[in-house]
Structures are given as C-alpha cells and as structure tokens.
Structure 1
Amino acid sequence: MSTPSDRRTYRDPSLPSTASAITVVRVELMAVRLPLRRSFATSSHRKDHLDHILVKLTDQDGAEGWGECASPSHPYYGPETFSSCWSALRDYFAPALIGERWDHPEELETVWRRIRGNLFARAALDTACWDLYAQHGNRSLASALGGSAEHVEAGVSLGIEESIGELLNQVEDHVGQGYRRIKLKIAPGWDVAPVAAVRARFPDTPLQVDANAAYSSTVEHRTVMRALDTMALRMIEQPFATDDLLAHAELQRELTTPICLDESITSASTAHTALSLGAAKIINIKVSRLGGLTEARRVHDLCARSGIPVWCGGMHEFGVGRAANLAVAALPGFTLPGDISGSDRYFTADILSSPITATRGRVRVPSAAGLGVTIDRDAVRTHLLDQMSVTQ
C-alpha cells in the first residue's frame, strides 16, 4: 500500500506558480448565522440554525480569497467549536499568515507548523489561500487541484426524525428530486427499524447509514450492525469511536457491508493507518475535518493509489464551503455520490448571489476562476453576528 509520504508534485509547468508571490495583507473574520429550513438531528443533538465563520483574505494586489470554517457550535462531532475556531483564527492562524510571501498553498504548512490541531479553523484559511492561488493563475479551483469533472453526483443526508412515517416522507421527497443516494443518520434506538422501513419502501434506492461514532463494540451494538448488514446498504459510516480503529477492523471482518470512516480520518497518515489495519473499505473526505484542501487532496491521492473509493462529506456548509467541496469532488477518485446537495435543501437563503443547486441529483462544478462563485455582500451583512480584521 502507498504511504502518505508518496506525494505528487502539483506545480503545473505550463502555469507559473503565480505571476508574483502572494502576500496576504489583511484577514477578515465574519461570524454568520443562517437558519435551517427544518431542524436536523444526529446521534448527538438537534439544531435549527448554523453559525459559521467566513474568512476573507486580501493580498498585496487587492485580490480577495474566501474560505469557510464550518465547525459545529458544540464539541459533539469533534473537539472544535465555533468559539475555539474564532479564537484560533484570530490569535494564531491569521497573524502567522499576514505578511508571508508564498507561491503555492502547500508552502503555508511551514507557516502554521507550530499550531497543533484546530483543523476546522485551518481549513478556512487553507481554502481561502487556494482561492487566491487559483485566481492568480486564472483558472478554477477544481482545475488548480487537478480535478476535471464538470458535474458531481449528489446524495442527501437525512437526520433523525420524530417518526418513521416522517422519515419515509423525507426519503420519498428527495428520491423524487433525483438525488443519487440517501444517507440516514442512526443512533442507538433509532437504527434497525427505521432503516428496514426505508429499505422496504425503497428497495432499489442506494442507501447508507451514518452513526457518527454513537455505538460501542459491545455484543448488543454488534448485533445491530449485523442486522443492518442484511439491508443491502452501500456502507455503514463511523459506527464506533474515532480512535478505535481496531474495533472497526474487527467489525469489517464480520460484515459484508463496507465500513466507511469519517471522524477517524484527520490526515493522510491516519487514513494510511486505518487502511493498513483493514478498518474501512471506503473513506469520507471532508475538507473541514482534514484541515483544508491541501490535506484533503493527499487523502484522495492515497486512496486512489490504494484502490479505495472516496466521497465528499459535508458539514452543512454555506455557499463558500460548498463550492470548495465541489472543487475537490471533481478529482477522479471521488466515485461515490457525496453530501453536496443544493443550498436550497438546507437554507431559505444562502450567502451567494447565485446559490448552488442540484438538478436531478447532479451539481455543476464552478468553472470561473478561483471558487467560481460570487459572494452576496448584502446577505452576509444581513446575517452577520460579529466581525473583525487582522492586519500587519
């Protein structure tokens, strides 16, 4: 199996690194709240709005690069929160970036090397730097990353509902909209019965489940996994704790259904360890969880060399983060539908002038320079909670 150190060189000889080295002279942080169309529940909690941090970089020529920190507000998915990310961006990442000259986003790893963890915060700046880099080369972010797909197949993630009947209504609605697969959130007490009901009603619909590490490696919970194994699922995502790779490996040997890892994969190194142990047959790549596009592409390349399919997970991103997800999902190894449904699936209004939409289960990859989307500044101001700037 290839190791994470087997890294390609991404400098395109037909395109200079940049016309001139990039120097970020200003970092703006904007806390933005968007209400959800309907509340969304996972194994840990229910939410009716999202607070994310938008990052805007300005370079020496006045060009702007945008990124999004899509960290949850509470430490249930992972250890980071909205508050911790705001602090990390304000006090560490932004000051370290200001005034640094760089030609390629990968160089910034040396700028931030002393800052441990804080991957959601790091992802926002990494994405914004990639946006600037692609704009300087006058090409799309997808192209700058090495992707060529014009459209990506989109699945939809459905939360835990009040009743099985309501869940069936939600599945029927989204199958009718043409989404290419349905993902169901599960938790102890909400697993076998609702999944069996969906499978019985929709026998031919690609279906997968996501536990968000809600189960433990007990006889009772393994019995649940074996029951789910009979339901022709595409995958069972992250059943056990994030650091329990051996339990995932043991479970994978017991099941026919592929195990997919999400929270466990925080770098190309952890992905390599998980695959070496046989803990998963599929990897969920999330830009936010991996600290940005730089590491997300490394995990993609590792999995491609190892013959492991990947798909693009989501954190209910606003339009900026969703555009970044589309760019990375244009890479050739993303062979499974991702959680990149249209913005209108979750929000009544997004922060883009032209919201990202899905048509019959497919979403167009932006082709304009950089992220390829236009920020609606009025919408940002309307939903703004707080803002601040970091300069030299």
Structure 2
Amino acid sequence: MKIERVELREVALPLVTPFRTSVGSQDHRNALLVQITTADGVIGWGECVAEDDPYYFAEYLSGEQEVLRRWLVPTLAAESDLRAAHVPGLLRSLRGHTMAKAAIEMAVLDAELRALGVSLARHLGAVHTSVPVGVSVGIMDTLDALVDAVDGYLVEGYVRVKLKIEPGWDLEPVRLIRETFGPDLDLQVDANTAYGPNDIPYLRRLDDFGLVLIEQPFDPDDLDSHVRLAARVDTPICLDESIRSARDAATALRIGACSIVNIKPGRVGGYLESRRIHDLCQATGVPVWCGGMLETGIGRAANLALAALPGFTLPGDISATARYYERDITAPFVLHEGRLAVPDGPGIGIEPNPDDLEAATTSVDVLTF
C-alpha cells in the first residue's frame, strides 16, 4: 500500500469517575488518533495511548504527536509498497517512542487488513470470540467508597478485580475487600512502581490475602528488587512498566523477576511485538494478560483482538466502555456475563461514529503525501 494522507486527531473524553493511581489522578482522557488513507482509498485507524505527562511512562502525548508528524509518518509515507510487517523494521532506527510506533503500526495494520477483508483477531491468531475481562479500581477517598465501587463492578459481572495500591493505601484496603467479598474473588493489586527495595518485608504481608498477583511494585529498571521479592513471597509477581519488548520479557523471566506478564501494545511498540511476547510466554508456560490505558473504542477493539490469543489465560483490564466513558467515539463495548465480544469485522472491526468523533475532537493535524 501507499500512504497518501494522515490525520493526527486529538480527542478529549470525560471519565465517568476520576481514576487515581500512585502516579496521579485523571478526570478525563486525552487521546491521539491516527487515521491513514491509502492510495486505494482504504482508511485505517490507530490510537496512541500516551498520557499527558511522563509519569507512568517516559513518553507523553504531545511529544508522541511530534514524533509521528516529523519522523514516523514521513518514513512510512515514503514507501511505495508498505506492509504492516515492514513497520517495525522501518522505524527501528528511531530510538524509543514505542507508543507512537504502536499507533502508526495499528493504523497500517487496520488499513491492510480491511483491504484484505481479514480481522485483526484472525491475523494475530485469536482462538476466542469473546474474552473474560476484569476491572481496575483506583485509589479512593475512603474505604467505604472502595467497597461500594467493588460491589458495583461485581454486580455488573466483572470476573476479576484489580486494586491500585500505594504506601498508606495497601494492606487495609486489600484486607477489607478480601474479607467483604470472600476467598473466591479473583483479586490482584497494582503498585505502579510506588515502592522501594526497603519495602520488601512489608510487601510480603500481601501473601496473607490470596492474591492472583502483585503487579510492578518497584521502578521499571529495578529488576533486582523484583527478583528478591519474588523469591520471598508466594504470590506471583507480574511486570508491566518493566516490559518494553520481547527481549525485556525474556530477560525478566530468565532471572526470575516475574512469573506473569502484563502486555500493553502501546508500551511495547505495537501488536506485532505484543504477539512476540505472547508467543515467548506461551512457549515457556508463562501466563499473560492484556493491560489497559483508558483507550477509546479504537484501542479497545484492537486490545480485544489481542486478548483472544490462546496464551491470554488471565482476564485483562480492557473493561466495558461504560466503566470509563458515558460517550465514546465508537459504539460501546458491553459486558455480557463477564465477557466482551471480540470484533470480527475487517481490520480492528470498528469505526468511529462521525458525530461522536467530532464532538470529542480538540484538534486535527493533516499530512498529505
């Protein structure tokens, strides 16, 4: 294919409720959509999941938009016979910026597969038509508010609950949720790097609560502390921010820094690298699950396709649209008996609703070639 036109479109979506983690709080989601149009008139969509500020990850939204505009898009637009499989190699010389790379790769994949009439799920190797999903519960103002929130999500049908934790909001909230909802609740925690090596003895107390996993307690580059914690707890350790490629995953698993991997396509550079990580983990018997980044329906559709691969044996953080947004830019994804349907149309299998897209748009940058 040949890229002739690219739109970099910023959208802003209010959240149903503020979402707080150890790295900050959000009451709305700014997202960057990438729309490509090929010489044959085929349109493909991608989503950049970078946040406004570089707290969760080194990349940030306006920076990724600049990288797309100045380097990534022109590099791919110069190709007369572009294929999605070529994208990682063509962009390899530009260091970092995995979230921008993932967004443009996703748009190219979507256009290519739409032209072929093949779904992203089928292309990646999906084996399921729906996937079980969990819900991520942010840090609350009170314990009562936390119990009410978790109760509401369980009533809605979510099959797994993840609690965000930080120093001062950890043992007591986890103990309360376990005691309130019983031992059968699949419960896990996510620290988003909020702890340090000296907290290992303290974090060992999480073993008391029968958790599915403890996610990313230490800094992304501090694999040593994860190794030491993993050796001293019975609860599996999962890595998120530390895993930026299949090579990172292989290293972390080899040294015993984790036994579960959270795969976020934006963090690792795209869906093709995500599949490599999935294949590595499946070959070694390591469970994986798909993390979420408050995606719009565009990114949510693609994540569902990924989560339908056979190695995704744990419920992900994809969640129904209503968990985050009253009005998205696409048709909503609706929870049914704890599962979300995997889109089966060509490409990502979903398109923005023009009226909703226009209502959410804050800026558009058009590039032509």
Q: TM-score interval w.r.t. the shorter chain?
A: over 0.9
TM-superposed CA distance for 1:41, in Å, is 0.3
Distance in 2, Cα, partners of 1:136 & 1:305: 32
Which residue is 2:355 aligned to?
Answer: 378
Higher helix share: 2
Aligned pairs (5 A) from 1:315-330: 315-330=293-308
The amino acid of 2:190's aligned partner reads D
3-state SS of paired residue (1:132): helix
Which residue is 2:99 aligned to?
Answer: 120
Which residue is 2:25 aligned to?
Answer: 46
TM-superposed CA distance for 1:136, in Å, is 2.1
Name which of 41, 51, 58 aligns with 1:79. Answer: 58
Aligned pairs (5 A) from 1:194-343: 194-203=173-182, 204-218=184-198, 221-343=199-321
TM-superposed CA distance for 1:67, in Å, is 0.4
Distance in 1, Cα, partners of 2:100 & 2:214: 28
Distance in 2, Cα, partners of 1:286 & 1:248: 19
TM-superposed CA distance for 1:102, in Å, is 3.9
RMSD of equivalent CA atoms: 0.9
If the length of structure 2 is used for normalisation, what is the TM-score?
A: 0.98
Distance in 1, Cα, partners of 2:76 & 2:368: 10
3-state SS of paired residue (2:211): coil
Which residue is 1:357 aligned to?
Answer: 334
Name which of 105, 130, 135 aligns with 2:109. Answer: 130
Identity %, equivalent residues? 45
The amino acid of 1:54's aligned partner reads L
TM-superposed CA distance for 1:103, in Å, is 5.7
Distance in 2, Cα, partners of 1:47 & 1:113: 32
Does the CA contact (< 8 Å) of 1:24 and 1:60 recur in 2?
Answer: yes
Aligned length: 368
TM-superposed CA distance for 1:114, in Å, is 1.6
Segments ≥4 residues shifted beyond 6 Å: none
TM-superposed CA distance for 1:251, in Å, is 0.6
If the length of structure 1 is used for normalisation, what is the TM-score?
A: 0.92
Distance in 2, Cα, partners of 1:150 & 1:334: 13
Question: 1:68-87 deviations in whole A, cap 9, x for unaligned?
Answer: 01111111101111111111
Which residue is 1:67 aligned to?
Answer: 46
Distance in 1, Cα, partners of 2:205 & 2:312: 28
The amino acid of 1:171's aligned partner reads V
Unmatched 5+ stretches in structure 2: none
The amino acid of 2:318's aligned partner reads I
